[in-house]
Structure 1
Amino acid sequence: MKLETFFEKFDELADTPNGVKQLRELVMQLAVEGGLVPHLAAEPAVPYASVEDATPINVSDVPENWRVVLLADAIKNRSGNSKLIKGKLHEEPAAGRFQGFSASGADVWCDGYEHEGQAIIISAVGARCGKAFKASGKWSAIANTNITRPEPTLFDFDFAYLVLNNEHFWVRGGSAQPFVKFPPSLDRHFALPPLAEQKRIVAKVDDLMALCDRLALQQQERETRHAALARASLALFADAPTPANLPFLFHPSYAIPPADLRKSILTLAVQGKLVPQDPNDEPAEDSLARNDERRRETARSDHRADEENQPLLSGDDRWDIADTWSWRGLADLVLFVDYRGKTPAKLSSGVRLLTAKNVRKRQINLSPEEFLSESEYHAWMTRGFPKAGDVLFTTEAPMGNAAVVELTERFALAQRVICFQSYGALDPAFLVLQILSDQFQFILDKNGTGVTAKGIKASKLKQLPIAIPPLAEQRRIVAKVEQLMALVDALETQLAASRATAANLLSALVAELTAARVSVPSANGASPSQPGATPQVKGRKHNEG
């Protein structure tokens, strides 16, 4: 890729995901590799006899008027003052105090100074070791720093800063507490451009970094506008959630994050705003009457069912619903088949076992696969048999996942899972939507206990409020949610594909630029240093021993 093409595509490359950050890194890489500005043969090389047969760390092909130097010849370094400890120095400037540099930068002040003039301070220890800071005037460098002074006949100061302010440039050691290994870092060879070219590189880097700053600001402003449009669109749809207003959610000019779309859809669903109420529907109270009769009948022979209705939590623990809906405690509506507690012996084959690890949001995932023996299954499953159409709910780690059972094979339950079996007034799929809504999850979390692994007791879970629309409306809501969630899934796939395409484009361009370097013209217009060419350097072999 030619240099002009790279600059022409700069804005386009910056607009890809994480593009500005990658462009900054690419600019810095091209700066030290000689791929950012033209090489001018008329510019005098630095006064250093190139080291023959040495392999510089920054280029594979050395332009004719560049010189391969040993970094130890071009950079002098010494440690900062280990007796100056950060915690014992001043944190604020004042009259008579001088700037001090720690491993974190210019963040301390000293009563005196030890150095004067320009230098580059290197963070010598810590997670960000290798980070560089410019020092000038009168200053001190304290513990865990290293002072580097580039040789001015070889290094332009600002170009040296570009080279050294790179954590990947330095040889590092340690794991828990990383540190820079300065002798091996400087006992390497580096190809240096003429001083005039170094200055041109610095000027070009400054221009491109300023452009990156502007592009980043433009992206931030655009994202802010899009976020405001997304919030406004969600609010408009919430006020009038009709099919005609669906374009507010799926608009080509901006993308509402799929996670926000899913939350909004569930919120509207449990508030009665997603589908219209139909006066011809059987009232919720009628289905609840049959529900209660069936529960009381069950309670006469099954101690798991409660004959009396659950006491409802306060109105503060509920949300706004349609006038035709009712409230009930969860245990008024479903039978609890609770298999929490001791874990049965597991096998690699047999009758399938489902635990909290298998219950996801609106989905039962069969991985990981665990099984019981036939005899263990019959001995274990004494509290009731779950079946297709039931709802599985996780009480802990994680708390609050729910899904409708669609398996036709036999299966057992264990480990932090409760099975809900409806008495008739509650559609299982609608129950799942309600459990996963932000409104119910808030109440669930409020009534949970524990710190590291929050869970909820069955006695408290039974009292949590459930909103009950007419059964026919519940089924319409479920159908509408399925339709909208499919659109969200398609949107998410489209966005992921778009991001992947953009990222792949940027990666391909970066690979092209870094593999062969940007083609920069020489003084006569030819492209110098083609890959595979023998470096045109002459000089002495440096004694590295």
Structure 2
Amino acid sequence: MNAERLLTRYDRIADASNAIARLRRFVLDLAVRGKLVEQDPADEPASELLKRIAAEKARLVKAGEIRKTKAVPSLEPDGLPFPLPHGWAWTQIAEIGVISPRNEAPDDLEASFVPMPMIAAEYGEANGHEPRQWGEIKKGYIHFAEGDVGLAKITPCFENGKSTVFRNLIGGIGAGTTELHVVRPLFVDADYIVLFLKSPYFIQTGIPKMTGTAGQKRVPKEYFTTSPFPLPPLAEQRRIVAKVDELMALLDRLEAARTAREATRDRLTAASLARLTAPDTEPETFPNDARFAIATLPALTARADQIKPLRQAIINLAVRGKLVEQDPADEPASVLLDRAKKAKKALREERRIGRSEGPEYSESPGEASAPRHWSWSYLADFAMVLGGKRLPAGTSFSKEPTEHIYIRVTDMKGGTISDDGIKFISPEVQNKIAKYTIDQEDIYITIAGTIAEVGMVPALFHGQNLTENAAKIVFREVDRGFLILALRSNDVQSQFAEKTKQMAQPKLALKRILGARVPLPPLAEQHRIVAKVDALMTLCDRLETALAQADATRARLLEALLHEALAPAADLVAEAAA
């Protein structure tokens, strides 16, 4: 067994995203290859165990307790997947038990009913059951008894490893889902059979053999009954099961420790960032809070997914005036707001846009902490919000590319509009919805499905058609990048959430967008804020990439160590010599 290096390097791979799951599969793989416990020459060989099983089967057939079964095809030596230790033997499940056993019992006997959801994919988790009268479940369901082994044969249950030893059955018998293959073991440890059925070798080899249509694929009975089955001596089977139980319990503890560690890390990160971005942050304490957050960030940020709250914290700091210094020489925000209001009026007249429904006003929790020379304004004061248009009834997307694109919410990703999988409409459809377009100077905002995602419009989508599940924000004089930051901030997003939280199917009304309370710094400061945020987001990109690369490196190391641990010693010598 070559697992020592894996154990000594556990600390380097433990933080790989799927380390524990891979280690669980690794334990099962070692177990069925005879590499988990040492062999004992004093154990009765598996070949003798097979003789005893055959004799017991013959006795049961003679006694009329089971039916005589057809002989199964013998295993070809060239088709055996891996070498076995001395004392083991290759066999088949059909040879070591009774396939698809039947129960005979009075109809009024209370028994157990086991549907598929009560069969676990995880190793070591017991099956659940429901009490039923035997007469209710004896027909139309699969039979099993205490100690039988069941394998889920349908996708995705098979791929997920659903199999179990049926235990604690009421009356000692049960019936359940028809999507099971069942074996009643003879002189073989049922738990050893289950760990084989959950092993990566058995599942990965079985997936290509599944038959049926998509969503209804099943593992053939022949694969379950006649696949090569590695049989250890009975005493070793029990040692293997005990060792697997021990190692799985260890992995449970490691997983719990890692989960607790990550939860603590997440809480500390959230608390550190919250202190920076809280609406009531005092100017006197902010520098110390910022220094603490910066000093602890490397230790608290260990996963790529932890960068997202960091990005949000940067946005929240930006729109509260805590990211760049204020300059008294800047033109006051009040002057900017007056210009923006006039620009809105001019745009309305230029585009011949009628007046829409009045705003539904909100209040901002961050207003009190903003710099004094900023202006807080409702979006309706300087911008218009106009909705998109549903495709006319009876029309559909064009099968061929045209000059007219229909922008959907699914195209709006990461603050921009993706050109991957865009949909086109015909000139005839375009003529019917021509006024519901969005320009490159506008901002989009989603209003249904995904609520309040905002972003810029790339040049490709200038003048193109907008879905009814989104709207455009039309404005001038205000920095587009800053307004997007303001709309993404927690202060504004909380206003949108408050207006939609009671809806069964949330939809953000245009009047509620217009009524959003947003901060407006001087224009020069807006430009500085956007430049600073862009620089910090670039650093976040680099950190995110570095963390992803570190995780990928840990995953590759884990894979290499697992491969090495499973490789026969002779193979390792050959690799070293090559």
For 1:462, the equivalent position in structure 2 comes to: 514
Instruction: Give the SS at the match of 2:129.
Output: strand
For 1:263, the equivalent position in structure 2 comes to: 312
Amino acid at match of 2:18: N
- What are the residue-to-residue correspondences of 1:289-300 with 2, within 5 Å? 289-297=338-346
How much has 1:216 moved relative to structure 2?
1.3
CA deviations on 1:392-416 (whole Å, 9 max, x unpaired) are: 4445555533333563x89322022
**What is the rounded CA distance, in whole Å, between the counterparts of 2:517 and 2:44 in structure 1?**
82
Equivalent residue in structure 2 for 1:404, among 452, 456, 471 = 456
How much has 1:499 moved relative to structure 2?
1.1
Amino acid at match of 2:31: A
Q: 1:25 to 1:380 in 2, by over 3 A?
A: closer
For 1:63, the equivalent position in structure 2 comes to: 85
For 1:5, the equivalent position in structure 2 comes to: 5
**What is the rounded CA distance, in whole Å, between the counterparts of 2:216 and 2:552 in structure 1?**
36
For 1:489, the equivalent position in structure 2 comes to: 541
Q: Is the counterpart of residue 363 in structure 1 residue 440 in structure 2?
A: no
Equivalent residue in structure 1 for 2:268, among 192, 207, 229 = 229
For 2:163, the equivalent position in structure 1 comes to: 131
How much has 1:75 moved relative to structure 2?
1.5
Relative contact order, higher structure (CA 8 A, sep 6+):
1
- What are the residue-to-residue correspondences of 1:13-412 with 2, within 5 Å? 13-41=13-41, 43-46=43-46, 47=48, 48=50, 54-55=76-77, 59-79=81-101, 103=116, 104=118, 105-109=127-131, 119-122=147-150, 128=157, 131-135=163-167, 139-144=172-177, 148-152=183-187, 155-164=188-197, 168=203, 182=221, 184-238=223-277, 239=281, 242=287, 244=291, 247-248=294-295, 250-255=297-302, 257-297=306-346, 303-304=352-353, 311=359, 313-315=361-363, 320-322=368-370, 323-335=372-384, 340=389, 353=405, 355-356=407-408, 358-368=411-421, 386-387=439-440, 389-396=441-448, 398-405=450-457, 407=459, 411-412=462-463
Q: 1:276 to 1:172 in 2, by over 3 A?
A: same
How much has 1:25 moved relative to structure 2?
0.9
How much has 1:32 moved relative to structure 2?
0.8
Task: Confirm or deny: 8 A CA contact 1:66 1:194 kept in the other structure.
Answer: yes
For 1:534, the equivalent position in structure 2 comes to: none
CA deviations on 1:138-157 (whole Å, 9 max, x unpaired) are: 622223367643222xx345
RMSD between aligned alpha carbons? 4.8
Using the size of structure 2 for normalisation, the TM-score is 0.71
Instruction: Give the SS at the match of 1:271.
Output: coil
Instruction: Give the SS at the match of 1:63.
Output: coil
How much has 1:43 moved relative to structure 2?
4.1
For 1:538, the equivalent position in structure 2 comes to: none
How much has 1:230 moved relative to structure 2?
0.9
Amino acid at match of 1:486: T
Q: 1:508 to 1:143 in 2, by over 3 A?
A: same
How much has 1:119 moved relative to structure 2?
1.6
How much has 1:471 moved relative to structure 2?
2.2
CA deviations on 1:263-316 (whole Å, 9 max, x unpaired) are: 22222333333334444433222222233334445556654276x996561437
**What is the rounded CA distance, in whole Å, between the counterparts of 1:487 and 1:107 in structure 2?**
53
CA deviations on 1:71-93 (whole Å, 9 max, x unpaired) are: 322122444659999xx99xxxx
How much has 1:485 moved relative to structure 2?
1.4
Task: Confirm or deny: 8 A CA contact 2:149 2:164 kept in the other structure.
Answer: yes
Task: Confirm or deny: 8 A CA contact 1:13 1:19 kept in the other structure.
Answer: yes
Equivalent residue in structure 2 for 1:506, among 558, 563, 567 = 558
How much has 1:505 moved relative to structure 2?
1.8
Equivalent residue in structure 2 for 1:414, among 443, 460, 465 = 465
Q: 1:333 to 1:28 in 2, by over 3 A?
A: same
Task: Confirm or deny: 8 A CA contact 1:336 1:420 kept in the other structure.
Answer: yes
**What is the rounded CA distance, in whole Å, between the counterparts of 2:413 and 2:442 in structure 1?**
15
For 1:535, the equivalent position in structure 2 comes to: none
For 2:70, the equivalent position in structure 1 comes to: none
Equivalent residue in structure 1 for 2:527, among 468, 472, 475 = 475
Instruction: Give the SS at the match of 2:482.
Output: helix
CA deviations on 1:44-91 (whole Å, 9 max, x unpaired) are: 412147998635987422334322334322122444659999xx99xx
**What is the rounded CA distance, in whole Å, between the counterparts of 1:528 and 1:300 in structure 2?**
80
Structure with more of its chain in helix, by fraction? 2
Q: 1:251 to 1:67 in 2, by over 3 A?
A: closer
Q: 1:196 to 1:309 in 2, by over 3 A?
A: closer
**What is the rounded CA distance, in whole Å, between the counterparts of 2:329 and 2:44 in structure 1?**
92
Instruction: Give the SS at the match of 2:377.
Output: strand
Task: Confirm or deny: 8 A CA contact 1:391 1:402 kept in the other structure.
Answer: yes
Amino acid at match of 1:400: A
How much has 1:22 moved relative to structure 2?
1.0
Amino acid at match of 2:475: S
Task: Confirm or deny: 8 A CA contact 1:101 1:108 kept in the other structure.
Answer: yes
Q: 1:20 to 1:80 in 2, by over 3 A?
A: farther
Moved more, 414-423 or 495-504: 414-423
Q: 1:422 to 1:8 in 2, by over 3 A?
A: same
CA deviations on 1:176-225 (whole Å, 9 max, x unpaired) are: 56766556522344232223433332333233223212211221221122
How much has 1:136 moved relative to structure 2?
6.6
Amino acid at match of 1:132: T
Identity across aligned pairs (percent)? 26
What is the number of equivalent residue pairs in this alignment? Answer: 507
